[in-house]
Amino acid sequence: MRIIAIAKNTFKEALRGKMFNIMLIFALVTIGSTKMFSFFTPREEMKMIKDMGFFFITIFGLLIAIILGARLIYEELEKKTIYTVLSKPVRKYELILGKLFGAMFTLLINLCFMTAVFLVVLYLKERALNFEIFKAMFLIFISLSLLSSIAIMFSTFSTMWISITLTLFIYIVGNIFEYLKHLAQKGGIVLKFVLEGAYYLFPNFTNFNINRDVVHGTAVSGLHILKVTVYGLNYIIIFTLLSILFFRKREV
Amino acid sequence: MRFRPQKIHFIFLIVILILLVVVVPLQRSIDRDLDKLHPERKLVTAPAGEFLGQFLFGFKDIIVDLMWLRIDYYWDHQQQEKMFPLYRMITKLDPRFLDAWILWAWNIGYNLSASVKDPEIKEKCYWADVNILKEGIKFNQDKYDLFFECGWVYYHKLKLYAEAAKYFALAGQRKERPMYVTHILAHSYAKQHNWQKSLGIWKSVKGKGYKNWTQSEVARRHIKKMEKYIEMEQRGETVKDEMYP
């Protein structure tokens, strides 16, 4: 119950912020983009609209996930409100879990809103609903939740800006692992060991990106979605455990 | 039961370690899925364009779109020569972008070839067109489009009807192909004077009982024509190419 109360409070705080302004910008940009590409052939136009939609959803989602995650613990510490919370019968792990669930719920609402706008735009153009989009959106949600959990972990021992920088670093590294893995094939045994180790140690964010498959109409199996979901949840648990570990060690 | 903090930390670390071990087979299995979904993953060689995609942090589709918009600008401003490097980059970043392959090949096979007078260079352009499409086919085995385009260049420009028929037949085996793929396959058999095969295809078109009157009418007309040619050949008469343009 205490975790749910903290999660609710986190969501309410996010609502008080500028999140919905970002959503509005997204909605306007996406709707506007439908007119922008009408000089292309219908197939090219649809590709452009879908690409734009996924791009804005991912970029706004990234911003919200990272900033929200990095702010949650840091602000409580800065404003010293954490002392009020922890003076009540609330454990540190409950606070971390509550914050994480609150961030995930905020991301979910945000994604639902953006997906709804996106679907309306696509429906107006195609007069048909492409349900594969839900698969892509679900994986975007898992990857953003993972990013939030990473940001929360960093915020348990560093400032907000350092947390944002480090989370972005993990995101960037997590997107170039395929390249590093290929590089490892050409290197010596030590390089191969290090890079392959890193490939399996850090979350690989390319796993979550099936946007291109959806745009090109390539069917992605449900089993693959399940595997990537388990993969994402695995890392969310890892980073949450690390957050709890670091936060327990912190003198508050 | 209450654990000491050190014990809790130790349990946490063990759980994290177990979860990290679980990641290895999971990632390998995901890699196998992705290799099937994206054949280009296996074909990458540094430092080719495919790798550039890795450094765009999941936003390569939007970069592809921006380049595509630039191609449109070059087309409008009569700067076709600047379009070709962009086509190459786009197809490296997104090998499943069919229009990029089609337009790249078409610009070489039709526009560039039309701008030169030397027949030898013209033919080189047609072959370049075919080679681009064949490269694209490697990444788009499930779509009819590039097979059809490739067949069309063999048919219309190179006049190699047996090769054209091969590609049209492959296009016809793909899902969601339009009816004209079957029609052009029948035409390419007719171009080789293989009237029987052409007749067979037109009969199958008619046999499918299309509600579309034009489809049935086109099939009926061609069936009549093929039967006439077969009869002519049986009588020892030659069917001239002009009779089947």
A·B CB contacts under 8 A: 110
Average pLDDT over residues B113-127: 93
> Which pLDDT does position A3 carry in this prediction?
84
pLDDT given for residue B47 in this prediction: 47
| DSSP codes, A44-85 | HHHHHHHHHHHHHHHHHHHHHHHHHHHHHHHHHHHTTHHHHH
Q: Which amino acid is at B17?
A: L
pLDDT-based confidence at residue B240 (cuts at 50, 70, 90):
confident
Look at residue A242 and give its three-state secondary structure: helix
B23 and A234 within 8 Å at the Cβ level: the answer is yes
Cα-based distances in Å from A54 to A68, A175, A229, B11, B52: 20, 17, 19, 40, 20
pLDDT at A163 over 90: yes
User: Best mutation site among B6, B22, B65, B174 for testing chain A: the one with the most A CBs within 10 Å?
Assistant: B65
Check residue B44 and give its pLDDT.
53
Rounded mean pLDDT of B154-158? 94
The rounded distance, in Å, linking the Cα atoms of B156 and B147 is 14
* Residue spans of alpha helices (H) in chain A: 2-16, 19-36, 42-78, 81-87, 92-126, 132-155, 160-175, 177-186, 189-201, 211-215, 222-249
pLDDT of residue B125: 95
Distance in angstroms (rounded) separating the CA atoms of residues B34 and A99: 33
Amino acid found at B33: D
Cis amide leading into B178 (omega within 30): no
d(CA B92, CA B108): 18
* pLDDT computed for residue A203 by the predictor: 93
A173 — phi, psi (to 5°)?
-60, -40
A231 vs B27, B94, B99: nearest CB: B27
d(C-alpha A230, C-alpha A138), whole Å: 12
Q: What is the average per-residue pLDDT within A94-101? A: 91
Judged by a CB distance cut-off of 8 A, whether residue A241 touches chain B is yes
- Chain A hits for B65, Cβ within 8 Å: 47-48, 51-52
Helices A189-201 and A177-186: angle between axes, nearest 10 degrees: 160
What is the C-alpha separation between B45 and B60, in angstroms, rounded?
Answer: 18
Least confident of A18-22, A44-48, B142-146: A18-22
Tokens of B224: 């009549």
Query: Contacts of residue A216 in chain B, CB cutoff 8 Å?
Result: 96-98
Instruction: Look at chain A and report how many structural domains it folds into.
Output: 1
Do residues A121 and A209 touch, judged by C-beta distance below 8 A?
no
List CB contacts (< 8 A) between A44 and chain B. Answer: 68, 99
Across the interface, of B15, B22, B29, the residue whose CB is closest to A241 is: B15
Q: How far apart are alpha carbons B171 and B177 in whole angstroms?
A: 7
ipTM value of the model? 0.85
**Do A140 and A208 meet the contact criterion of CB atoms below 8 Å apart?**
yes
- Spell out the residues 6+ positions from residue B23 whose beta carbon is closer than 8 angstroms to its own: A200, A201, A231, A234, A235
Contact B37 A52 (CB under 8 A): no
Contact A179 B22 (CB under 8 A): no
A212 and chain B in contact, CB less than 8 A: yes
Q: Give contacts of B62 with chain A, Cβ < 8 Å.
A: 51-52, 55
Contact with chain B for residue A105, Cβ under 8 A: no
Cβ contact, residue pair A44, B33, below 8 Å: no
Of A40, A58, A237, the CB nearest to B58: A58
A61 in Cβ contact with A140 (< 8 Å): yes
CB of A74 less than 8 A from some CB of B: no
Domains of chain B with CATH codes: 59-161 (1.25.40), 178-245 (no CATH)
Best CA proximity match to B52, nearest among B100, B104, B94: B94
**Tokens linked to A144:** 């953003």
Cross-chain residue pair B9–A211, CB shorter than 8 Å: no
Q: Provide Rg for chain A, Cα atoms.
A: 20
Average pLDDT score over residue span A220-226: 93
CB B16 to CB A238 under 8 A?
A: yes
pLDDT of residue B46: 46
Do residues A153 and A245 touch, judged by C-beta distance below 8 A? no
How far is CA A9 from each of CA A2, A3, A83, A145, B62, rounded to the nearest angstrom? 11, 10, 16, 18, 36
Q: Is the CB of A207 less than 8 angstroms away from the CB of B30?
A: yes
pLDDT at residue B54, rounded to an integer: 61
Q: Which of A175, A218, A237 sits opposite B54 (nearest CB)?
A: A175
| Distance of alpha carbon A134 from alpha carbon A148, whole angstroms | 21
Question: Who contacts B185 (Cβ-Cβ below 8 Å, separation ≥6)?
Answer: B165, B168, B169, B171, B172, B201
Q: Which among B199, B167, B170 is positioned nearest to B186, based on CA atoms? A: B199
Mean pLDDT of B50-69: 77
What is the value of pTM for the model shown? 0.83
- Answer yes or no: are the C-beta atoms of A92 and A246 closer than 8 Å: no
Contact status of A207 with chain B (Cβ, < 8 Å): yes
Contact yes or no for B167/B173 (Cβ under 8 A): no
**Which chain B residue has its CA at the smallest distance from A238's CA?**
B16
* A225 vs B: CB within 8 A: no
Q: What are phi and psi of B5, to 5 degrees?
A: -50, -40
B209 dihedral zone (left: phi>0; alpha: psi -120 to 50; beta): left
Give φ, ψ of B3 to 5 degrees: -90, 155
Residue A39's pLDDT is 74
Span B43-65, average pLDDT: 67
Binary contact (A234, B22; C-beta < 8 A): yes
Domain coverage including residue A96? 2-249
A231 touches chain B (CB under 8 A): yes
For residue B232, pLDDT over 60 is answered with yes
Statement: residue B137 has pLDDT above 80:
yes
Secondary structure class of A7 (helix, strand, coil): helix
